Amino acid sequence: MKIESIELENIRSHIKTCIDFDEGFNCLIGGLGTGKSSILYAIDFAFFGEPIGRSYDYLLREDAEYGMVTLKFVKNGKEYIIQRALKRQNDRISQDTDQLVLKEEGKTIAEMKSEAVTEQLFLLTGFDKEIFREIIWMRQEHLKDVLNMTPIERQKKLDQLFNLSDYEIAWSNFRPVITEFEKESAILQRDADVTGFEELMLRHQETLRELEIKEKEAEETKKMLFEAEIRYQQASERLKNLETIRRTNEQLRREESILYSKYTGVQQSNFRLAEEIQKRMFRIEDLEKRLVIQNSQIYSCRDKLKEVGLPLELSIEKLLDFNQALQSEIQGNLGKEESLKSEISKSTARISNLIRENTCPLCFQTLEPSYKERLIQRLYEEISENKQQLANIEKMTEKHETVKSVIESVIQSFQNIQARIEEIRRQIDEEKKILEDTRRRLEQSQKDEKILESDLISLRSKIREFDITDLENAQKEFNAAYEEYSSLKHKSQNIELSKSEIIRRLQIVEERLKIAQQKRTRLENVNKIITYAQEIRQAYRSIQPRLRTEFIRYLERIVQQVLNELSGTEGILFSVKIDENYTPIIEVEKGYERSIFNLSGGERTLLAFAYRIGLGQLIMQWKAGHGLPLLLLDEPTESLGREDGSIDRLAESLSRLKTVEQIIAVSHNESFADKADHVIRLEKLGNRSIISKER
């Protein structure tokens, strides 16, 4: 990323100013009050639009009603323009969002809404207001702020920049959540429905048995009533037939023919239903055999688990969890392998360097032959140990991958077999339903056959020559059938009323059981949530120091790299280590350590630059995936001496710095500006800033 230009209108002493910037080291040079720092404040305003402090008084020109900043920058080969404006109303200065616009290659991509513009800028640049003001923009006399902090303050500040403090906040916020769930769990454990669940189950079972008995009694009574009704109807019909037999003899004969036809038809239907029942039974038997075969295949699959040392009874869910754990461990081992290979490579390179040269690869000091021999021997031993660890890890990884392959095969087989078993069971259920329906139809048809047979016999007897004795017997039979039918009908009605009452009580119990089961399920889920939340809470507490260790390791490497780059061909006489509080520790000759406060002014300034740049590089890599794109310096020579050459050395160091694509520095020191790639001079005529580009 590179800032190409900035236009300022009514920004402090700039009435109408346009400044072009180039890649590399840009220096804004000028005397006190010429408007140099106003340009950096304008860059900050263009990116974020928020004041530094409580108002915009430091930006808008005192006699102006409005002001505007237009910033042009290039990112990934595309040109972007951000324009922001200020307005004065009733002695109050605010941002004019009507003038707010962000363009990409001349096309507007966000406007008028500050949140939308800020979001787009963050996606483009990768830095937010905090990173810009804490890292990218080194404000006047704030270069060494991070180094001057106490270790606790420094750790807290950098944890916030790295977002590590979020883990501490999350750890604290989880405690009230767990407490609430623990309260709910305690309430549910004392709930009457939960504690009395077993008693409700017993009541439910007793009511079901009572209903079952009553339903059997109702079924038997209905059957008896049905038979009694048939006898009653038959007796009534017989009596009527006997009284009118003389007039209806011919009609009876026609009815006999029709009834016989129905009777033979029912017989044929019964035969077909019996054949269908036999066929369905054979089908069910075949499906059950297939089900046995599928179950045997499950046992065969489980034998594979035994071959790799796993329990046979593991479920698919546990196998999936175990497989995931194996994958994580494999990934971890692969990371360890890469780390060990890297260490072996580094040690091998160091041995090569030591063989070719007699200087230490770290401090560049000449080594004594005996010390050099011991150092090479120690490096060979480290290589041997690392190779042994690498072989062990590779062997373990190969074993895990074998087990993982078996588990995946078993899971796939389980899932396929389970699908087939479910399909077979579904077919068995369907066949049983069809079989049961066919049996009911056959049973009803057989009853119809008996009724038709009985009716046919009865009809034929009526056709016989009429006899008064038959009429008297028919009357007695009718009276007895009617009395039996009335008694059974009354009994059936009473049974139905009792059954309705039992069903009502059963519904009440089932509703209570449903509520109780919901509470039991909720209690189980709440207890699981408590367990998981406690594990997550502990994870938040434990992951923070691990991440901080990784950040420190990379920060130490980047700071040393930047320090070496700033030192150039002169070389640097010390190495930098960083402790758990992000405090740099200086290592000098022969392994001695020095405090950063014992460094010279120039060394300390150089270290501060390297630390801030390294910190910026790491934060940008962590949050945006790329290095520090830009560096703004406001009077970086303020605390340096003029006689010892430290200003010249700092400027030369910055000119050599290739880690950052663009540096924009503000200074009043001519010697500092001489080392810059590009110099922009500012002067003040009257109350107006004038710029001129020298190179």
**For residues 556 and 554, what is the distance between their CA atoms, to the nearest angstrom?**
5
**For residues 685 and 556, what is the distance between their CA atoms, to the nearest angstrom?**
47
Q: In whole angstroms, how far apart are CA 179 and each of 73, 190, 424, 520?
A: 51, 17, 48, 19
The alpha carbon dihedral of 42, 18, 138, 562 has a sign of positive
How many residues make up the chain in this entry? 695
Mapped onto helix, strand or coil, the DSSP state of residue 634 is: strand
Q: Which of 63-72, 325-334, 358-367, 400-409 has the lowest mean pLDDT?
A: 358-367
Contact 616, 135 (CB under 8 A): yes
* Closest to 12 (Cα-Cα) out of 71, 55, 56: 56
Mapped onto helix, strand or coil, the DSSP state of residue 682 is: strand
**For residues 461 and 242, what is the distance between their CA atoms, to the nearest angstrom?**
10
Find the angle CA(424)-CA(430)-CA(436) to the nearest 5 degrees.
135
The pLDDT value recorded for residue 564 is: 77
Which domains occur in the chain, in start order? Answer: 2-161+595-693 (3.40.50.300), 244-466 (1.10.287)
Helix (H) or strand (E) holding 435: helix 369-463
**For residues 318 and 325, what is the distance between their CA atoms, to the nearest angstrom?**
10
The alpha carbon dihedral of 255, 256, 262, 263 has a sign of positive
**For residues 679 and 224, what is the distance between their CA atoms, to the nearest angstrom?**
116
Segment 198-221 shows an average pLDDT of 88
Beta bridge partners of 451: none
Contacts of 343 (CB under 8 A, 6+ apart): 382, 386
The confidence band for 232, taking pLDDT boundaries of 50, 70 and 90, is: confident
Quick: pLDDT tens for 577-600.
888 887 888 877 666 777 777 777
The pLDDT value recorded for residue 17 is: 93
Helix (H) or strand (E) holding 18: strand 14-20
The confidence band for 73, taking pLDDT boundaries of 50, 70 and 90, is: very high
**For residues 42 and 52, what is the distance between their CA atoms, to the nearest angstrom?**
11
Q: In whole angstroms, how far apart are CA 531 and each of 518, 526, 528, 540?
A: 20, 9, 5, 14
The pLDDT value recorded for residue 626 is: 75
Do β-strands 24-30 and 678-685 pair in parallel, antiparallel, or remain unpaired? Answer: parallel
Quick: pLDDT tens for 665-689.
998 888 888 888 899 999 988 889 9
Mean of all residue pLDDT scores within the chain: 82
Q: Which residue has better confidence, 423 or 360?
A: 423
Is the pLDDT score of 460 beyond 90?
A: no
Sheet strand arrangement including 688-693: 137-138, 630-634, 662-667, 24-30, 678-685, 688-693
Q: Which residue has better confidence, 435 or 465?
A: 435
The confidence band for 532, taking pLDDT boundaries of 50, 70 and 90, is: confident
Q: Which residue has the tokens 């035994």?
A: 306
The alpha carbon dihedral of 315, 318, 322, 327 has a sign of positive
Quick: pLDDT tens for 243-284.
665 455 557 767 778 888 888 888 888 888 888 889 989 988
At 494, the amino acid letter reads N
Q: What is the DSSP letter of 657?
A: -
Q: In whole angstroms, how far apart are CA 525 and each of 224, 374, 518?
A: 53, 62, 10
The confidence band for 185, taking pLDDT boundaries of 50, 70 and 90, is: confident
Q: Which of 270-279, 348-357, 375-384 has the highest mean pLDDT?
A: 270-279
Find the angle CA(495)-CA(497)-CA(499) to the nearest 5 degrees.
70
* Closest to 448 (Cα-Cα) out of 253, 274, 264, 276: 264
- Phi, psi for 83 (deg, rounded to 5): -125, 130
The pLDDT value recorded for residue 122 is: 85
Is the pLDDT score of 634 beyond 60?
A: yes
